[in-house]
Structure 1
Amino acid sequence: MADRETWATRLGFILASVGSAVGLGNIWRFPFQTAENGGAAFLAVYLAAVVIIGLPALLAEFVIGRRANINAITAFDRLDKPNWKAVGALGVLAGFWTMSYYSVVGGWVIRYVFGSATGAYFGDPGPADYFGMIASGLDAVFLHFVFMAVTVGIVALGVEDGIEKATKLMVPSIVVLMVGLAAYAATLPGGGEGYAFFLTPDLGTIVANFETVVPAAVGQALFSLSLGFSVMITYASYLGKDENLGTDGVSIAAFNTFVGVLAGFVVFPLLFAQGVEVGDAGAGAVFVSVASAFVDLPFGRVLGVVFFGVVLIAALSSAISLLEVVVSYVVDNYRFSRPATAVGLGAVLFVGGIPSAMYDGWLGWFDTVAVNLLLPLAALGVVFFVGWVMAGDAVDEIRQGTGGAETLSVVWLWSLRTVVLVAVAGTLVLSLQGLSAPPL
C-alpha cells in the first residue's frame, strides 16, 4: 500500500479541524437554534455541553483516527475490533447524509451573496418572500450543484494541496471578517437588547423547557464540533505520533466556540437593532431575519455581501470535511484515484440532495434525522468504544506527544465512561422524541 497523505503542518490540521467545526453549524445553525430555544439559556447549556461532552468526545475520535492511521471504517480492523466497524460506518453515513442537504444550504448562501450585491431582496419582494422564492425549485438545484462542484474540486486536490491550503486561507478570513461585523453591530442603536437576549440566561427557561433545550444544545455541540460524522477520526488519521492530541483538541474546541459566540454577537444585535423577530422557526430563519436587518441599515448591500460571504467560506470549510470522510474510505480500501472518487461521490450526493433542493420541508426533515438520531447515536458508539473497549490503548494513545500526562488521561477516560456516556445516551433518548415522519 502506498503511503497515505499527511498534513504538511500541525497548523494545517488544526485549521482544517476548526474549519470543519465552524462552518454552517456555527454561523447558520447556531443562531437559529439559540433563537428558538431561549437565547442565553440555550447558550449556557451549549457551552457546558462543549466542555463536558464535546471536548472529551472530540479526543475520543482523535484517538481512534491516529491510533489506526486509516479511514473511519477500516480503523476498527486496524485496532483488532472488526465487530465495531458499524460505529465508523454510522459516522460515515451521518456525514454522507448531512452533506446531501448541507450543500443545498450552501447553494442558498451563494444566492444571498449575489442577492445582497444586486439588492434582489431589498425591494419588492421583501426578504421573507425572497427566501420563499429561492429556497426550493430548479434554481436551488442548480446552486446545490455549483456548491457541490466547488467542494469536490477542493477535495480532489488532496489533503495537503486541497484541504490544508484551502482552510489555511478560509479560517483566518472567517475570523477577521466576523470580528469586523461584530464591531460594526456593536455600534447599532438598540443592539443592547440583542446582547441581553444572547448573554443573560434565565435558568427558569432551562428548567421549564429541559426536554427541548438540553437535547437541542447537546445536539448543536456535537454538530458544531463535527462529532458523530467521523470527520475527526479521518482528519486525525493523517496525524503523526508527536502531536499533542489534548492541546490540539482544546484549541479546536475553544476556537470553534469562539466563532459560534462571535456569530451571536453579529446576528442578535443586528436583529434587535432593526426590530426583527428572532424566534421564527426553521432552517431559513437566519437568512430571512439577517437579510431583513440589512434592508434598513446603511451600506446594507455591502454588509450583506460580507456577511453571506463569510457564511459561504464557512460552509465550504465544513463541506470539504464531510466529503473527505467518504473519499478517504473509498481511496484507502478500493485504491481508486482521489479525483475520480471525489467526482463520483459528489455526483451521488448531488442526486441525494435534490429532494431537499426541491422542497425545504425535506431539508428540515433530513436535518432533524441527522441531529436527533445519527449524530448522538454515532457519538454514543465512539464514546462507549473508546471508554470501555479500547480503554488502555486509548490512554496510551492520548499520552503520545504529551510527555506523560497520566492523571489527565485517566480523568479523561473515566469522564468518557461515565458523565459523557450518560449525557450522550440521555440526549439520544430525549432527541428521539423530536423525530417525525418524512414529509411525503
Structure 2
Amino acid sequence: MTRASWRTRIGFILAAVGSAVGIGNVWRFPWFTADNGGAAFLLLYLLFVLLIGVPGLLGEFVIGRRGGSDPIGAFSALGGRNWRPMGGVALLASVVVLSFYSVVGGWILRYLLGSVTGAYFDAPQQFFGAIDYGLGAVAAHVVFLLVTAGVVYAGVDRGIEVATKIMVPGIVVLLVGLAVWASTLPDVAGGYEFYLSLDWGYLQTNFVDVAAAAAGQALFTLSVGAGVMLTYASYLGEDRSLAADGTIIAVLNTVVGLLAGLVIFPVLFSLGVPPGDGGPGALFISLAGAFESLPYSRLIGFAFFGVVALAALSSSISLFEVPVAYLVDEHDVARSWATAGVGALFLVTGSGAALSSDLFTLLADNVANLALTVGLLGFLLFDGWVLGKAALEEYESGAGPLARALGRPWLVAIAVVLPIFLTFTLLSSLTGLAGIAVPATGLLAAAVAGVAAAIAVLRRPGSAF
C-alpha cells in the first residue's frame, strides 16, 4: 500500500499549527493563566515554548521522518522491537487527550448553538452546569467526534491538509478581529495588566507550581509527547528543513495563544468579571456571561465560539490520526475501517469522560500532563542516546546554514538538559499529587541521578557524546 504524504509544505505547516493551536490555546491556556498568576504564568510559558517546546518538537519530527511510520512502527524500525512500548506510550497519550478533548468539543458546539439562540446569556453558570456532563454531553461529544472522523477518513492530503488550510487562517483572522474589538472596550487596563504585567513576588513564592503548569501547557499546546508531530512528520519528504518548519509552527502557535489572551482578559476585566472560577468551566462561565452585556452579543459570541470550534477540530483531527496511522501502518487496515474502529474506541472513552466529572478532571488536569511529559522524555532520550549522530543527520537534512550551526547545541539540549528538566517537572507533579513536600534541590538531584542512570542504560556507539 502506498503511504500517504503531504502535497505541499504549507499544508504540513498548517496541519501541524492546527494541531498545536487547538483549544489548548483558547480554553486551557486562559484556565491555567488565571489559576497561576496571569503574567507570571505567561512568562514561564513563553520561555518553555522556546527552550523545551521547540527542541522537543524537532526531536519528535526527527523520529517521525526518519522512521517513516506511526509511533510504534517508527520506534521499532529505528531502535528495535524493545522500543515498541515507547511508541505505545505515545499512542496511549493521544487516546487520553482526545478522550476528554472531544467532550470539550461537544461543549463548544453547544455554546456555538447557544450563541445564536442566546440560551446561555441570562444564566451562564446554570447553562454550563446543565450541559457539562450527562447524556446531553455524550450526544454533543459524539457529534464532534463524527466531524473529526469525517476529515480523517478523507485522508492526509484530501482531508487533513485541505481542512487545516481553511481552518487555521480562519482562526487567526477571527482572533485578530476580536482582539482589536476587545481593545475598544472601556476599562480594559486591568485585563492587560493581569495578563502582561509581571508580579515578581507571586512568581518567587509559587515558582515550582507555576513552572510545572507552564511546562505542561507548553507541551500540551505544541502537541509534543503524544506522537502527533511524529506521525505528521512521517508523511514528510527529506527536502524539508525541520528546524525552519518547527520554528514557524511554534511561532504561529504562540501568536494564536497570545491573541486569545488579548481577547479574553480585556473582555472579562472590562465588565468587572473575575478571570475565572477556576477549573475547566472558567471560559464557558466567565466569558460567556460577559457576552450578555456587550453590543451585538450574539454575533460576538458566535464569532468567538466559532474560533474555539475551529481550534478544537484542528487538534482533534491530529490526535485521531495517530491511532489511525498505527492501524494502517502496522496492521495494513484500510483507512476507512481504521477510522471506524478508532471512532468506536473514542466513542467509549469520551463518553466515560462526558458522564463523569471526576474522570474528566483526572484526565485533563493530571493524566494528560504526566503522559505528555513521559512521552517527550522518552522521545528525547531516544534521539540523544539511541539515534545520536543519526538524529543529528536527520535534523540537518534539508536544513540551512543557521539551522546546521545550531544542530550540535540542539542535540546536547535534547540529550541531557531537557531530560533533566522534564524529569524534575515529572517528579514535582507526582510529589504534588501525592501531597509530599520535597525541596526543589532534592527533586533536582533526583532528576539528575535518574537521567544519568537512563543514559548509562541507553547509551550506544554513535550516541550524542
**TM exceeds 0.5?**
yes
1:251-279 CA-partner distances (Å, limit 9, x unpaired)? 00000011001100000001000111114
- Counterpart of 2:137 (choices 135, 140, 143) is 140
Per the TM alignment, residue 408 of structure 1 is displaced from its structure 2 partner at its CA by 0.9
Per the TM alignment, residue 131 of structure 1 is displaced from its structure 2 partner at its CA by 0.5
Preserved CA contact (<8 Å) 1:14 1:252: yes
1:363-383 CA-partner distances (Å, limit 9, x unpaired)? 111112333311111111111
Per the TM alignment, residue 354 of structure 1 is displaced from its structure 2 partner at its CA by 1.5
Number of the residue aligned with 2:431: 433
Preserved CA contact (<8 Å) 2:276 2:285: no
Matched, 1:56 2:55: yes
Task: Specify whether residues 371 and 433 from structure 1 end up closer, same or farther in structure 2 by C-alpha distance, changes over 3 A only.
Answer: farther
Number of the residue aligned with 2:418: 420
Q: Secondary structure at the match of 1:73?
A: helix
Greater alpha carbon shift after TM alignment, 70-79 vs 318-327: 70-79
TM-score (norm 1): 0.97
Number of the residue aligned with 1:23: 22
Matched, 1:153 2:150: yes
Number of the residue aligned with 1:38: 37
Number of the residue aligned with 2:104: 105
- Counterpart of 1:324 (choices 318, 321, 325) is 321
Number of the residue aligned with 1:311: 308
Preserved CA contact (<8 Å) 2:220 2:369: no
Q: Distance in 2 between matches of 1:184 and 1:419?
A: 42
Look up the equivalent residue of 1:415 and give its one-letter code: A
- Once the two structures are superposed, the pairs formed by residues 21-420 of structure 1 within 5 Å of their partners are 21-123=20-122, 126-403=123-400, 405-420=403-418
Q: Distance in 2 between matches of 1:368 and 1:192?
A: 30
1:383-415 CA-partner distances (Å, limit 9, x unpaired)? 111122211000000000015554311010011
Greater alpha carbon shift after TM alignment, 248-257 vs 347-356: 347-356
Q: Distance in 1 between matches of 2:415 and 2:111?
A: 45
Preserved CA contact (<8 Å) 1:101 1:366: yes
Per the TM alignment, residue 423 of structure 1 is displaced from its structure 2 partner at its CA by 1.2
How many residues align? The count is 434
Preserved CA contact (<8 Å) 1:24 1:311: yes
Greater alpha carbon shift after TM alignment, 313-322 vs 278-287: 278-287
Look up the equivalent residue of 2:326 and give its one-letter code: Y
Preserved CA contact (<8 Å) 1:365 1:436: no
Q: Secondary structure at the match of 1:79?
A: helix
Per the TM alignment, residue 143 of structure 1 is displaced from its structure 2 partner at its CA by 0.4
Per the TM alignment, residue 434 of structure 1 is displaced from its structure 2 partner at its CA by 4.4
Greater alpha carbon shift after TM alignment, 229-238 vs 132-141: 132-141
Q: Distance in 1 between matches of 2:367 and 2:10?
A: 30
Preserved CA contact (<8 Å) 1:73 1:89: yes
Preserved CA contact (<8 Å) 1:246 1:398: yes
Preserved CA contact (<8 Å) 2:98 2:320: yes
Gaps in structure 1 of 5+ consecutive residues:
none
Look up the equivalent residue of 1:422 and give its one-letter code: I
Per the TM alignment, residue 433 of structure 1 is displaced from its structure 2 partner at its CA by 3.3
Per the TM alignment, residue 419 of structure 1 is displaced from its structure 2 partner at its CA by 2.1
Preserved CA contact (<8 Å) 2:44 2:214: yes
1:338-379 CA-partner distances (Å, limit 9, x unpaired)? 011111111111111112212323211111233331111111
1:302-332 CA-partner distances (Å, limit 9, x unpaired)? 1000000110010000000001000001011
Preserved CA contact (<8 Å) 2:276 2:286: no
What RMSD in Å do the two structures reach over aligned CA positions? 1.3
Look up the equivalent residue of 1:327 and give its one-letter code: V
Q: Distance in 1 between matches of 2:199 and 2:368?
A: 25
